[in-house]
Amino acid sequence: MAPDDPPQVPRPAGQPSFPVARPRRLRRTPALRRLVAEARIGVDDLVAPLFVREGIDGPVPISSMPGHSQHTVDSLLAEAKRLVSLGIPGLILFGVPAHKDSNGSEAWNPEGIAQRALRALRDSVGDEIVLMADLCLDEYTDHGHCGLLGADGTVLNDPTVALYQRIALAQAAAGADVVAPSGMMDGQVSAIRAALDGAGHDQVAILAYAAKYASALYGPFREAVDVQIAGGGDRRAYQQDPHNRREALLEIAQDVAEGADMVMVKPAMTSLDVLTEARHSVPVPLGAYHVSGEYAMVKAAAAQGWIDGAQVALEQLVALKRAGADFVLTYFAAEVAEALGA
């Protein structure tokens, strides 16, 4: 064998040997790499999270999320139009009310900030972008939990789900294409589906936060929505335990069985195994939420000159697609869309 001949793969006696594949041949040029790429991130894969806050005169920058702000309704509309111009197909809206109470009543108020913003978005951008609305109570409660509290401070499942139904109806009436329950209450999807269908909103879809882990990566988001959990508590009693994978897959399967049109895994980069298994087990579209802490870490390291932030962002989003996500909710959405369109 000549020194440059490819190695031979041993074969059973009587069968010919074949050269071992040399994948580097297919990495030689950018065009070859594009041609054989197994996973791609494109503008059509992106959903942009946006925040709208009541009682402010102009956008308020979010210190832990450089490049993002709490919007007024007017600045929200301007940002939505920019997303449309970039070709981004979806946004998800989070409301920050001026008044919070123990029940989170502004969440289903027809004149609450999220509902007013949804109506304004519908009038402004029509069907040019999918309007998703986060469906939860934590942004609206004075205790920062995702549901009603019992006398002992625990979150009550069924009374909370009844309020989720009211929120879903308010969001649908305001123009949401998709409602996205994120509280991880048992039975929330079936209850919301029944409420929507019963009120004639059968065309409104449900994106279920089906596997939402109790993660330490949500800190910047809590700044963005002005949430502090009462008494320094946490949500580990109802959000997914980060130690568990099988349990997460059960949650995902249950939400699909209850009528979820799409399901989501959150946070994204620490859940690649769950994304891959979910992709093999459920037939509905699968989203991944690249969360605020993941965004903030990339931004902070890039600001120190330690990494190429734009390239790391692309690598992470491609990894989510490779793991099985059909779409990604990410605070990098506009930046990535601009880069891909350059």
Q: Which residues are catalytic?
A: 212, 266
Query: In the numeric block, which tokens belong to residue 193?
Result: 């589906």
Query: Three-state DSSP class for 283?
Result: coil
Looking from the CA of 135 toward its CB, the CA atoms found within 13 Å total 34
Cα separation, 77 vs 86, whole angstroms? 14
CA nearest to 334, candidates 73, 86, 127: 86
Phi and psi at 82, nearest 5°, equal -65, -40
- What are residue 207's DSSP bridge partners? 262
Q: Which two tokens stand for residue 113?
A: 């900030």
Q: Are 180 and 133 in contact (CB under 8 A)?
A: yes
Amino acid, single-letter form, for residue 129? I
